[in-house]
Chains A and B, each alone.
Chain A
Amino acid sequence: MPLGVAMLVLLALSWALLGAETQTEVFGLFGVTAVIAVIASRLKFTESLGRVAVEHERAVSIACVVGILILMALFHEDHFPLLLLGSVLLYATACLGLNIQFGYVGIVNFAGASFFGIGAYTTAVLASHTAMPHLLILAAGGVMAALVGCVLLLPVLRTRGHYGALVTIAFATLFRSFLEVNDTLGGPQGLKIPSLQFFGWDLGEGLIFGGVEFSFYANYVFFALLLCMAAYVCVRRVERSWLGVAMDMVRTDEIAASVFGISIARQKIIAFVLGNLLVGIAGAAYGMMTNYIAPNNFTFADSLILVSMLLLGGIGNPLGVFPAAALILILPEKLQFIQEYRFLLYGTVIIFILLFRAQGLLPRGIRRFFPCAENDPRQ
């Protein structure tokens, strides 16, 4: 019951935020949200909500998916809100990949945007120069990102802490610089990408469904939702398995992990490759959705934004990346005057999070292997 109410409120708020057109509306929305939050915490509603949400995880997941579908239906012919929704889903997918690396095994990848870019550029090249089916191209984007990541594996495995951070930071700088000077990849101007097509269905065309006209972005939102769900299930399964336990051990104590038979290298390789694969696929889909990519989308600053999303959501909690990605992507678009100041804003917000709420919006809880199993042996 409290769950249903909370979901409806959340849905109404996101609908209002996505549809808001003036700054007054956005600020009004802030006010309303703040009032709701204060009332909820006064009535001890948030506490019980948290408990209920943990207990009925499947219901929450289904409600989220339905909520996104409802939003999609509500904005069926508005390009911009749908584009935003699709971006949020794809960035969240990329963050899910980084979450395996950062949240579980403890490799901080400061080149997230680069792997996102590798996926997008692979798609651009393959889709314009070959007749490969687009679904395969999408997979190729992910595989390419994972492969390029493999080149970094040796230094990533051998280094620790700050020395490890250098590897991905250097790669992020290198990648951006490479894109800018490489003429075959369009140089600073970037490349165009044809729209996604499966089995004759062109996602770049609007469609009429039940007499209602849908923007072509609705196709992408739907597709992004599918991708995102797959990534979420994958990440959750990694977490809720012996692999997840082993990865957490590697992150928290490498020595204890190796004394109990866990191969540090194996866990790191699985996490790094799988993470980059997800980031690459998300990037490939993003490229197809926006139809156009340039080196400026894949800078070190963009990688930092991905890491910020992870941090804001709560490191290690795959559910956290959704509100975090939504806030970080939608707010600057809605507050036009913030546009110019958005990096300033991100930076300040993250600084305050690190100082005052380092655990993020939705901190990670205790691992539950089978939360939906009838015979959950927890009681």
Chain B
Amino acid sequence: MIPVSDEPLLRAEKLTMRFGGLVALDALDIEVRPREILGLLGPNGSGKTTFFNVVTGLYAASSGTITFEGRNISGLSPQAVYQAGITRTFQRSRLSLSLSVFDNVAVGNSRMLDHGIIHNLFCRKALLAEYERTVEQVRTLLATFNAALAGKLFHSAAGLSMIDRRRVEICRALISEPRLLLLDEPSAGMTHDETAELMDDIMHVREKLAPFSVVIIEHEMNVIQRTTERCVVLNYGKKIAEGSYAEITVNADVRAAYLGQE
């Protein structure tokens, strides 16, 4: 075991998730440390996305606890988890295609925006100021990823290419300056080069902001190798290995789990 340097940012203890007879997460213990990038690996159906869904409050865990910054967040609603500072992307793109790029990204910042009825309907001056601030913020963030994308701020998301949609989704997750970002297979549906570019951009943004922790689910091993400091490997909802990329690739259990898979 690597010695724990300081208090973990997120800690899942004995996390179990059952769907009827199926055990998707089986007494899982996972720690995410401050400022680290953690790779979450495992064959299909090993419970990686379920872990994200439980952390973000979409599923209520059958048992176990999740602590974030020392606070118990198990059982909180997705809204409350977001307020606590955790955001995510989805494996399949979940942009609202009929809305503009700006709308899609701005919604990620709803923690900072005033949703009060009076404010929105009657204080248009204050809203205008808030709006202009947000436009600048969204534009700057998009420009970090791709200058051309910033020019499409008020185009509908339906007209974007696959990689631009992914970028917009990541900007939506980043704009609220989360303390933990959960990336669910950012490479899905993209080429090697596109994925590499995307990851570089995320790292770039991360350096500019207060460096946040990232958990990344990924099948592309070179992405994991390049970006992560530590990996956790799941199989059948259990943790079967933990360590640096070099360590887990030589782990016998991991090889057994992937045998026949790749």
Contact = CB atoms under 8 A, between A and B. Distances in A.
* Real binding pair: yes
A262 B127 CA distance: 18
Contacts of A258: 58, 77-79
Contacts of A248: 96, 98-99, 103
Contact of A259 (B88, B117, B135): B88
A261 B121 contact: no
Given A252-B99, A367-B103, A246 B124 contact: no
Interface stretch (B108-116, B186-194, B211-219, B226-234): B108-116
The size bracket of the interface on A is 20 to 34
Interface residues of B, number: 42
B120 A261 contact: no
A354 interface: no
A243 B127 CA distance: 11
Interface string B122-134: 0010011001100
Given A252-B99, A259-B88, A243 B120 contact: yes
A257 B107 contact: yes
A30 interface: no
Contact of A261 (B97, B110, B128): B110
B135 A242 contact: no
Contact of B79 (A243, A253, A262, A377): A262
Nearest to B109: A260
A234 interface: yes
Contacts of B97: 252
B258 interface: no
B117 A260 contact: no
Contact of A260 (B108, B128, B132, B154): B108
Contacts of A270: 117
A150 to B, nearest CB: 16
Contacts of B128: 369-370, 373
B106 A261 contact: no
A73 B94 CA distance: 52
A237 interface: yes
A263 interface: yes
A245 B103 contact: yes
Nearest to A237: B121
B115 A242 contact: yes
Nearest to B113: A242
B56 interface: yes
A330 to B, nearest CB: 31
Contacts, number: 100
Contact of B172 (A260, A373, A378): A260
A266 B124 CA distance: 21
A318 B136 CA distance: 28
Nearest to A233: B121
A369 B131 contact: yes
Given A242-B113, A262-B107, A377 B132 contact: yes
A255 B52 CA distance: 13
A218 to B, nearest CB: 31
A242 B82 contact: no
B5 to A, nearest CB: 30
Contacts of B107: 245-246, 249, 257, 260, 262
A252 B82 CA distance: 19
Contacts of A33: none
A297 B153 CA distance: 46
A185 interface: no
The 10 A-B pairs at the shortest CB distance, nearest first, are namely A241-B120, A252-B96, A261-B82, A258-B78, A256-B94, A261-B110, A366-B100, A242-B113, A243-B120, A237-B121
Interface of B: 56, 58, 77-79, 82-83, 87-88, 90, 94-100, 103, 106-108, 110-111, 113-115, 117, 120-121, 124, 127-128, 131-132, 135-136, 153-156, 172, 176
Interface of A: 234, 237-238, 241-243, 245-246, 248-249, 252-253, 255-263, 266, 270, 366-370, 373, 375, 377-378
Given A245-B99, A253-B96, A367-B103, 11 more contacts: A241-B120, A248-B96, A256-B94, A259-B58, A259-B82, A261-B78, A261-B79, A261-B82, A261-B83, A377-B132, A377-B135
20 contacts: A237-B124, A238-B121, A242-B114, A243-B117, A246-B115, A249-B99, A249-B103, A252-B96, A252-B97, A256-B94, A258-B58, A259-B82, A261-B82, A261-B111, A262-B107, A262-B110, A367-B99, A370-B124, A370-B131, A377-B136
